[in-house]
Amino acid sequence: MKREIRKTLLISSIRTLALALLVSIGLPISSSSAQEDAKWFVLRHDETGNCWTALLIEIQGSYRHEFAQKAGGPYETKSEARKREEQLEKEGACSKN
């Protein structure tokens, strides 16, 4: 069971990274389903308090990240997520270190 969960998380992470890379360099995304299921989030590392903006894909009904908590989202645009990230930094809930 644990191996199956790790495999699912690994596939999810790879898929998310690939989609984020395609979006960031402006290439067209071939999978319309993946594009429709992708949303922007602010993520926070629970131990360090670092926050960042990321594109996550919905898999089996939820948006997941392997080692971070969701601190904001889902958002339709990266700009909306960045505004939330900046707000969390001003409040002291997140850091950039």
At 10-66, the pLDDT tens digits run 444 455 544 444 444 444 444 555 556 899 999 999 899 999 999 999 988 899 888
Q: How far apart are CA 37 and CA 45, in angstroms?
A: 23
Instruction: Please tell me the predicted confidence (pLDDT) of residue 15.
Output: 54
CB neighbourhood size of 60 (10 A): 7
pTM of the model: 0.62
At 58-95, the pLDDT tens digits run 988 899 888 899 999 999 999 999 999 999 999 999 98
Instruction: Please tell me the predicted confidence (pLDDT) of residue 25.
Output: 43
Q: How far apart are CA 26 and CA 30, in angstroms?
A: 12
Specify which residues 72 forms β-bridges with.
Answer: 42
